[in-house]
Amino acid sequence: LAMAFQTVVTTQPQFSAVQQPGQWQTGLTDCCSDCGVCLCGTFCLLCLGCQVAGDMDECCLCGSSVAMRTLYRTKYSIPGSIMGDFCTVWWCTPCSLCQLKRDINRRKELGIF
C-alpha cells in the first residue's frame, strides 16, 4: 500500500485589506459647489434629511442625525470622531446635512457610493 504525499496546511492564508483614509468631497461651508443642495438645506431641511436617509437606506427621520453622519464617515474612512460629528450637527445642522448630501452626490457621480 503506497500513500501519496499530501501538503498539510498548518496556517490559514491571511487576507489584509488596508483601507486608505478618505476625505469629504466638499468642505462644510462649500455651498457654491452645489447651490441646489444648499437651497434645499436652507429652505427645507427636513426634505434634505429625508433625501440623505433615503440614499443611505435608513429611516427618513434619521437623515440629519449624528449617527447618520458617523455611519457615513466611518463607511468611507473619513477621519473624525463622534464628538466632532456631534458638534458639527449640533451647531451647524444645515451645513453638515448639505455637506453629507453633496458628498453622496459626488460619490454617486464617481461610481463609488
In a domain, 72, yes or no: yes
Residue 11, Cβ neighbours under 10 Å: how many?
Answer: 5
Q: What range defines the domain where residue 76 resides?
A: 35-110
pLDDT band for position 63 (cuts 50, 70, 90): confident
pLDDT higher than 90, residue 10: no
Neighbours of 16 (CB within 10 A): 4
CA neighbor of 63 nearest in space, from 101, 27, 37: 101
Whether 27 is covered by a domain: the verdict is no
State how far the Cα of 113 lies from the Cα of 108, in Å rounded to an integer: 5
**What is the distance of C-alpha 104 from the center of its chain?**
7
In a domain, 7, yes or no: no
Residue 20, in any domain of the structure: no
How many domains is the chain built from? 1
Q: What is the per-residue pLDDT across 64-108, written as a single tens digit (0 to 9) for each?
A: 899 999 999 999 999 999 999 999 999 999 999 999 999 999 999
Q: pTM for this structure?
A: 0.80
pLDDT(15) > 70: no
